[in-house]
Amino acid sequence: MSDITELSIAELSQGFRDKSLSPVAAAEAYLARISTHNDRVNAFVTLRADEALAEAKEAEAEIAGGNWRGPLHGIPIGHKDLYQTAGIRSTAGSRVLENDIPNEDATAVARLKAAGAVMLGKLNTHEYAYGPTNDSSMFGPCRNPWDNSRFSGGSSGGSGAAVALRLCAGATGSDTGGSIRMPAACCGITGLKPTYGRSSRAGIYPLCWTMDHAGPLTRSAEDAALMYQPLPGPDGRDATVADRPVPDYAGALDGNIKGLKIGVPTHYFFDRALPENETAAREAIAVLEGLGAEVREVDIAHIDYAAAAAMVLYLSEGTAYHDDHIATIGELYTDQVRLFLELGNYVLAKDYLHAQRYRTLLGHAMADVLAEVDVLAMPALPLTAQPIGQEMIDIRGQSESVFGAILRNTEPFDLTGLPALVMPCGFASDGMPLSLQIAGRPFDEAGILKVGHAFQQATDWHKRRPPD
Amino acid sequence: MNARSPIKAETLKSVSAELAGQPISSEKAAAHAEIFENIMQMIETLRELPIKDVEPAVIFRPVERDGEDSA
């Protein structure tokens, strides 16, 4: 075997279970790669090498003793630094929390720990998840592993860069406007935003309570299924979590999508994307059609208002959460995040409620469409990862902000809470990854993962790696 | 829909100090006014939507001490 860090979570897990591979060797290999490659991307911001090796040894001993906990037992992962980790500094990428050490794990951290995952460390994030590029962080910008002069996407940029560069086998992220899916798309990996209310956000610093989601970033849909499996279900801490059966996500990946109805939106997602992003998505959809899916055009009513509604919600809820700090320790925030927090003071309550009413309206429009088709497919992003610090971009002759553009195709599924998966489907002429997004019906994570897995069985985009 | 006046720096300075309790400088208020006018032009489009009979998508759950529901 050439390099254990090349293996998927599924392959590692099988090897650990049949004892052909060692969790300790895997942890050592990942730690070695972090020591030689992390400086390029600035993904890991807190490393726990000794503790991770101890956890790996414990996992190896447990498995040897016949106490295999499941597919994540011994798998080396990283957590977004927005997630609180007991006894381990958890900064949210902000000087406000520079020395903060929580007493309790986030629910997701606790459940992955209980599943036997090995925590290598904490990963860079856009400050308090309040931005889509991960270039505003107390640790400095997270860089794209495909081109270190470009952003990784955010806010879960450390997670995206680390998984793509094989610094960990999988990572956690959070998604309020696209913060799992944007870095996954920018870095050429797979990202799953589950349904709102499917799994707990307890212990994850909030950006916007009504739109925050938590989920995994991995190198394949199969790995996303494995890593997400322990997370759904009530925890008594997050009141939004639904108490409903949890399917066997990996077990549903049979590769068969014959007869699946895929809706392709006629406007908004394609016509305001860079041509290469549009073309790659259409080619990916053609692959799915070749696997037996039925493709038809659909129209989503009221979709054009998504950015306005999302903006109101970020500004209102973000400022409310940080209200006690803006006037007293506002200088600790990065300039961009402090600006957003200050702007939130000017939003009227009636506009906040208009935005929340719009979400109901858009939810009905999406439900109407998803009554006719099983999933929706579109480019994950309308652009590729851009140079760090670039503020504007020209898309089809129209100049707009990078922040506005990069959020466009992911935000609608935070507003509606629908599950969405992104996965690589090509490369642009600038060398940056291109990605397809699949969105599904509420609580149908299994359905979109199945589509992703079928696509990845037929293509090898998810196996491409950034230059070493 | 009622017509809105362009946002003035002095308005934002007053809102920050008098409503939010977070005073800002005149220079910052001027910068905010330019940015927030653009944001407000986006936001006010929501006022034109057919949402008269649509309830907001906010979640409220009564607190039950036994279940330690955190809502």
Residue A163 contacts residue A219 (beta carbons within 8 Å): yes
- The reported pTM is 0.97
Q: Is the sign of the CA dihedral A15, A183, A211, A334 positive or negative?
A: positive
Q: Indicate whether A468 belongs to any domain.
A: no
Q: In residues, how long is chain A? A: 468
3-state SS class at A295: strand
* HSE-up (13 A, CA, CB side) for residue A419: 28
pLDDT at B33 over 70: yes
Give B7's contacts in chain A (Cβ within 8 Å). 346
Residue A174 contacts residue A80 (beta carbons within 8 Å): yes
Other beta carbons less than 10 A from residue A372's beta carbon: 10
Q: Helix (H) and strand (E) counts for chain A?
A: 14, 15
pLDDT at position A1 is 52
Spell out, as residue ranges, where chain A has pLDDT lower than 50. Answer: none
Q: Indicate whether A156 belongs to any domain.
A: yes
**pLDDT, tens only, A392-409:** 999 999 999 999 999 999
Contact residues, A window 219-258, toward B, CB-based 8 Å cutoff = 236-240
Q: What is the distance between the alpha carbons of residues B30 and A319, in angstroms, rounded to a whole number?
A: 20
- Kindly report the backbone phi and psi dihedral angles of residue A181, in degrees, each rounded to the nearest multiple of 5, phi listed first: -75, -35
Residue B55 DSSP label: P
3-state SS class at A134: coil
Q: Indicate whether A85 belongs to any domain.
A: yes
What is the domain extent for residue A172?
8-463
Asked if A258 is an active-site residue, the reply is no
Q: Indicate whether A2 belongs to any domain.
A: no
Asked if A137 is an active-site residue, the reply is no
Instruction: Assign residue A101 the CATH number of its domain.
Output: 3.90.1300.10
Q: Indicate whether A387 belongs to any domain.
A: yes
Q: How many folded domains does chain A comprise? A: 1
Structure token pair of residue A414: 């935070």
Q: Indicate whether A3 belongs to any domain.
A: no
Q: Which of A8, A13, A22, A80 is catalytic?
A: A80
Q: Is the sign of the CA dihedral A197, A172, A150, A422 positive or negative?
A: negative
Q: B1 at the A interface (CB within 8 A)?
A: no
Q: Indicate whether A1 belongs to any domain.
A: no
Q: B3 at the A interface (CB within 8 A)?
A: no
pLDDT at B7 over 90: yes
Name the one residue in this structure whose structure tokens are 């020591």: A35
* Partner-chain residue, chosen from B21, B42, B55, that has the shortest CB–CB distance to A307: B42
Task: Please give the helix or strand (H or E) that residue B51 lies within, else none.
Answer: none
Residue A119 β-bridge partners: A77
pLDDT at position B70 is 46
Rg (CA), chain A: 20
- List the one residue out of A14, A12, A10, A87 whose CA is nearest residue A46: A87
Span B34-53, average pLDDT: 95
Q: Which of A94, A136, A155, A199 is catalytic?
A: A155
Structure token pair of residue A266: 């006629």
**pLDDT, tens only, A126-160:** 999 999 999 999 999 999 999 999 999 999 999 99
Q: What is the distance between the alpha carbons of residues A330 and A64, in angstroms, rounded to a whole number?
A: 52
Could you give the ipTM of this predicted complex? Answer: 0.91
